[in-house]
Amino acid sequence: MLMRKVPGFVPASPWGLRLPQKFLFLLFLSGLVTLCFGALFLLPNSSRLKRLFLAPRIQQPGLEAVAQVAGHPVTREQESPPNPAPAAPAPGEDDPRSQASPRRGKGWLRRTRPTGPREEATAARGSSATALRPQEGSISSSFDFNAFRSRLRHPVLGTTADKSKEPQSLVQSQREKIKEMMQFAWQSYKRYAMGKNELRPLTRDGYEGNMFGGLSGATVIDSLDTLYLMELKEEFQEAKAWVEESFHLNVSGEASLFEVNIRYIGGLLSAFYLTGEEVFRIKAIKLGEKLLPAFETPTGIPKGVVNFKSGSNRSWGWAMAGGSSILAEFGSLHLEFLHLTQLSGNQVFAEKVRNIRKVLRDIDKPFGLYPNFLSPVSGNWMQHHVSVGGLGDSFYEYLIKSWLMSAKTDMEAKDMYYEALEAIETHLLNVSPGGLTYIAEWRGGILDHKMGHLACFSGGMIALGAEDAKEEKRAHYRELAAQITKTCHESYARSDTKLGPEAFWFNSGREAVATQTSESYYILRPEVVESYMYLWRQTHDPIYREWGWEVVMALEKYCRTEAGFSGIQDVYSKVPDHDNKQQTFFLAETLKTTFTGSGAVLKRIGDVGPCLADPADVLDEQLLFLCEETGLGDTAMSHQAQTFLSTENVYETCSLAIPGPKHRRFALQPRGFDSLPFVLEVFWFLLDFAFSLQLCFLTDFKYSFQNHVLSEMVSSNKLNLKVFAHTHTKP
């Protein structure tokens, strides 16, 4: 007691502190304990807790099974650091083999303990890279382009009779106008920015950007197929000459795996399948080899950025603090990489994307939904944000098109697509008070009632897949596609420029309009006119052509400048404020889509949807000449109308060797909680919500746990997810 009264004396024991000091000390202590205890539950790879709380799961075959499917079983001798041998470089280009860097220490091959899934994945990748590499110094291919072309029943270019009732003179004049717009966009680019990635029409110069690692000419390569299909022969030859003479791969910057794949590789593949020019095939294969280091991760899920010089990779810094890969990025590689294998004979491309497919097939999914962020290290979802728009969009479209590309033999892609579509319809689909159908975004069970422009491709996607749905669902999916497309049209019709905003909301009494100026811009995106085209192909309802022509006229009025086309900052202002950028996908997709939607370009196959060459009856009925007429802007699938052939059927018909194995399907083993009390379930749900803003590295186990909790709650009818979502929507 005496010491307490000595001025300046601080007792050594905390129990001698004054009352406010005690509270502060206890608060600090409780926070420390909470942090330590919480980390036990929330840190990634909490395998002990998972074994404690999660029901046991039958061990799935390791990723080495993928190599075994291909007829290349993993052996100890093949367990070498993965580094596929690229083809010999062209003159003036760096040899990618000289850029490889070691990834493992000396003790890696001496592993004696049993290997887990991650180690098996690494071994499988190493085996595929070793066993499947082509002969050094050559890019061989069993694909015979001349044999393929000889099997076509019609020439690639040409038109068929128009089934619509519009005057043919009107249709032809509209197509000529769109063709003139393409010529103007190309000539402006050629004059002011030839060889640069994009044109800046206001300042009349070129723009390189930082997504392509030093690669140039993105507009050239992205425009190749559009120029060819519009029969702009002189312009196409100019583009081809630039690719032959000026498109070099000896670059050393950091590039987006996704953007390089969809714009460059997609564009080169399209041009090759249309023309048979070897320069396009060789460039595509060599560029694909430069992207392979992105897949060097414990799970085989690629990271978003690859360094062309060092061969290193990393995730985007904005993607959950740099710890995640993006669903729309790693899920939008399948089509291109399968054809790189077909055209090169190197199975490593196909194995990379088949491994991605297997990981996504086997992983636990909340309510059947695919969140946008996945850890390439742990293989766990990093956040339960689900979107059919940006960050997620093209993954779903690649599923249905993989099914079609395989001549409807890839049952795994088909099953994953329809399962995902059912989950989207159950948990994300809504109808506004005004009767507009839209697909909301899902954040851990809470809905954001908005729809992005990128999500407007979904109307066309659903229409494309309707034919192969269960018989009782086909009419429903066609109607759903029409309703979603109508909603996206309303976002255009309700603006002053008749162009749609980047995102539009359904709340506060306002529907299908942007509520923030930061979302009211338009950057020449193609998704809405793409859906118009799909719906017109299936229904021949002239309304879709009318809507498409309205977009063409709006582009001409508000986006055309003296030196090219530019996006605008505000679709609700009739005085355009241009953003000074002519996007590559404007030439590659927006103009091509309006062109093919305004008239029958080439031929097409039944009602499976538009193709690059639009070829109904171009091929034998057993063949599928499928393409990517759709592009989803900066965060979506190929900005290229990619021509894709049915691998098995093309080779069977042409009597050529089939260059790859068939797909093996892996079943998803269910897991769940059988005896958790309801109070504990609710507690964990609230805990998840409270920690939703934590850093990404603290979330892996939490979301895995929440997934099972909420699944149990819904399955036991203890929580109506839709009611909860609607009553807890953000204002």
Contact 287, 249 (CB under 8 A): yes
Q: Which residue type sits at 87?
A: A
Residues 6+ apart with CB under 8 A from 596: 229, 533, 610, 614, 629
Is 502 designated active site? yes
- 560-561 and 510-513: which strand pairing? unpaired
The catalytic position among 254, 502, 681, 700 is: 502
CA distance 274 to 161: 22
- Backbone phi, psi, residue 524, to 5°: 70, 30
Is 259 designated active site? yes
Query: In sequence order, what are the beta bridge partners of 560?
Result: 565
Print burial letters for 357-377: b (CB count within 10 Å at least 16), e (below 16). bbbbbbbbbbbebbbbbbbbb
Residues 6+ apart with CB under 8 A from 481: 459, 460, 461, 462, 463, 466, 531, 534, 535
CA distance 303 to 258: 10
DSSP string, 7-27: TT---SSGGGS-HHHHHHHHH
CA distance 586 to 524: 6
DSSP 8-state secondary structure symbol assigned to residue 568: B
The catalytic position among 259, 351, 412, 688 is: 259
Length of the chain: 731
Which sign does the torsion angle of CA 496, 189, 528, 330 carry? negative
Q: What tokens does 80 get?
A: 């070498």
CA distance 257 to 563: 31
CA distance 248 to 538: 42
Q: Can you tell me whether residue 358 is helix, strand or coil?
A: helix
DSSP 8-state secondary structure symbol assigned to residue 522: B
Is 244 designated active site? no
- 450-452 and 446-448: which strand pairing? unpaired
The catalytic position among 527, 579, 688, 712 is: 527
Contact 725, 445 (CB under 8 A): yes
Count of alpha carbons within 13 Å of 55, Cβ hemisphere only?
A: 13
Strands (E), 336-452: 373-374, 381-383, 385-386, 429-431, 437-439, 441-443, 446-448, 450-452
Element containing residue 237 per DSSP (H, E)? helix 233-246
Query: In sequence order, what are the beta bridge partners of 504?
Result: 451
DSSP string, 667-722: PPPP---SS--HHHHHHHHHHHHHTTTS-GGG-HHHHHHHHHHHHHHHHTTS--HH
Largest Cα separation within the chain, whole Å, is 106
Contact 72, 131 (CB under 8 A): yes
CA distance 294 to 287: 13
Q: What tokens does 514 get?
A: 């942007």
Three-state SS for 408-438 is CCCHHHHHHHHHHHHHHHHHCEEECCCCCEE
- Backbone phi, psi, residue 208, to 5°: -95, -45
Is 570 designated active site? no
Q: Which residues are catalytic?
A: 259, 393, 502, 527
